[in-house]
Structure 1
Amino acid sequence: MPAFIVFFGPPGCGKGTQAKKVTEELGLVQVSTGELFRKHLGEKTPLGIKAQEYMSQGALVPDEITIGMVRERLQQPDCQSGVIFDGFPRTGDQAKALDALLSELGGKLNMVIDFALDMNISRARLMGRQEGRADDKPEVIEKRLNDHAKVEASVMPHYNAQPGLVRSVDADRAIDAIYQDVMALVKSTLA
């Protein structure tokens, strides 16, 4: 049975970096809704066209479109080894829909790894990024931090209500120290 794990945490906590390292080492698949949106938009799929209609109006893409993209991705053969969700789910409804989808596919969510990081440290990391990303401007950073607080308030009650599902990792450490803890947690779900 494949492992299904959610990596959760504020912007700048390193969850994407950790997801990449873990998936490369263990042969799991990293599923990022941002990448799914870009793929569907680029390939002009029916789901991508629907998503574009909402995005072009500055509206949030409805959950059923996002879930449709995730469903399609999970049905690909490479996902049989297991999946790390990065940046998904973003609402309580998406969390419930993910549970239903995994159940439908004969699986279940094994773990949520919460990358714990103080918002002030998150802000400082984002301000200090070397990539110079377009979304690393101060006003955009504040919006991303506020958005994360809303996501956390929506998603985490659903997961915290399931005893033993959420495991917290201190994300205010060196990448390798975090990686050792994350690998131990992920490997425990694969045993």
Structure 2
Amino acid sequence: MRIVLVGPPGAGKGTQAKIIAGRLSIPAISTGDIFRANVGAGTPLGLQAKGFMDAGQLVPDEVTIGMVRDRLAEPDVTNGFLLDGFPRNVAQAEELEAILVGLGTKLDVVLELAVPAEEVVHRIAGRRLCRNDSTHIFHVDFNPPSVPGVCDVCGGELYQRDDDKEETVRERLAVYERETSPIVGFYDERGLLATVQATGTLDEVTERALSALDDR
């Protein structure tokens, strides 16, 4: 099965991508993974991307698309894949369509994780990380530490990342609505869209997603 996963920041795409791909025995492919692999391997596209990133600039679509094209030509995607983080706009969606035509295949479904904006703000703005180890993650409501501001694991100070502050989260949501949400309509017109409510427990969202895929 060939799947694209879309949804706003804070929808749980990264977590669900790994779970769903694991259940289906297909690779979960994120743009972050593709970038790191190309930069780490020093590929021509990776060197181009690194140049833009080192200069604090966005990596152009053509470089990102080139990396995705190369990744989707690898043998482990023969039986399917789950793309997380690409496409981010309609132009990229059109390019992905062309890439798959060139490979003699097509998407089966575009899975949208739908979450109300205020829920996203609550999820992200309440997150707190440990200064000693960023893998120690808490939430002021969902997973509060025993002592406010102190990591239960190592006693380190908990803090809020700048990216997690409410005003930043709202700006990220605005960017998503402006640039990425139009691809929902793009795929809906093609009969590929399956929308899943991404509220509730992790397991509940996973089961809804898998049920939506079973209907395809």
In structure 2, the residue matched to 1:173 is: 200
Structure with the bigger RCO (C-alpha within 8 Å, sep 6+) is 1
Q: 2:188 corresponds to which letter in structure 1?
A: N
Deviations 1:15-56 (A, max 9, x none): 211111111122111111111112212222110111122223
**Separation in 1, partners of 2:109, 2:83:** 11
Q: Normalization by structure 1: what TM-score?
A: 0.89
Inter-CA distance 87–177: structure 2 relative to 1 (3 Å threshold)? same
Deviation at 1:76, TM superposition (A): 1.4
**Contact 2:112–2:184, Cα closer than 8 Å, also in 1:** no
Q: Where do 4+ consecutive residues of structure 1 move more than 4 Å?
A: none
In structure 2, the residue matched to 1:100 is: 98
Percent of pairs with identical residues? 40
Q: Normalization by structure 2: what TM-score?
A: 0.79
Residues 90-99 or 133-142, more deviating: 133-142
- SS of the counterpart of 1:16? helix
**Contact 2:30–2:83, Cα closer than 8 Å, also in 1:** yes
**Contact 1:32–1:85, Cα closer than 8 Å, also in 2:** yes
In structure 2, the residue matched to 1:47 is: 45
Inter-CA distance 133–4: structure 2 relative to 1 (3 Å threshold)? farther
In structure 1, the residue matched to 2:180 is: 152
Unmatched segments (≥5 aa) in structure 1: none
CA RMSD of aligned residues (A): 1.8
- SS of the counterpart of 2:87? coil
Between structures 1 and 2, the one with greater helix share? 1
Rg larger in structure = 2
Equivalences, count: 186
Unmatched segments (≥5 aa) in structure 2: 129-136, 138-159
**Separation in 2, partners of 1:68, 1:15:** 23
